[in-house]
Every structure is written in C-alpha cells, then in structure tokens.
Amino acid sequence: MTKHSLEHWLADAGDADVATLEVPPAIDRMRRFQVDVRFVVQCPAEGTPAWHAMTVEVNGRREWSRRIDTANPGQTDSLDYHLQVDLPEGMALRVRATTQVRAARRRLLRIEAEEQ
C-alpha cells in the first residue's frame, strides 16, 4: 500500500461574488473531504435594511442555499456551510459558491477542502 499525504485545497475569491474550488481525481484511492464554505459581509450602518445570501453547488448539483437578514450594524456578518464529501477513485470534486447582497458589502468568500 502506498502512503499518501493528506490533501488540502483552498479557493479564496476575496470580495468576488463567485468562488469555485476544483479538486482533481485520484486514480489510485478513495478520498473523504471536509469542505467548509465561508461568506463574510460588512454590515451597513444601523437603520439600513440589508441581507446576504449564498448558494453552494457540489459537482453541478445544488447542495445548500440560504438568505438571511444582515445583522451587526457597522460590523461583519457571515454565512457558513460545512459538508463531508466521499470521492470514489477517479472522481473529481467541484464546489461552487455564488453570493448575493442587498446593502451589505462583500468582504470574503472562501472554499476549503481538507482530506480526512
């Protein structure tokens, strides 16, 4: 049996509205990844109604979607999604996060996959 080091993948889109993480297939083994998607926004001043939303797709299929009112006037607020993905031998992983905002300002959009 060949010893493999555990993989770590990161897609940091900064303040962009879309992030995509692509993990290539491994031909010789099955892998399990813990995937974390984080979207952070800057909240407007008090009295300004705002919301932010994020949708996560895994290998082209919608996995999760949420829209919430932005809280913490003058501070930051976030949406986070975590999932575990088993990748059979020879299968790639593609995680895509899309975001929307109203009155809030995008600060960070990041997808991270850590092999378990």
Kindly report the pTM of this predicted structure.
Answer: 0.93
Mean of the per-residue pLDDT values for the chain?
A: 95
What does the pLDDT read at residue 114?
98
What does the pLDDT read at residue 48?
87
Fold designation for 8-115: Jelly Rolls (2.60.120)
Contacts of 116 by beta carbon, 8 Å cutoff, 6+ apart: 6, 32, 33, 34, 84
Residues in the chain with pLDDT values less than 70: 1-3
First to last CA, the chain: 18
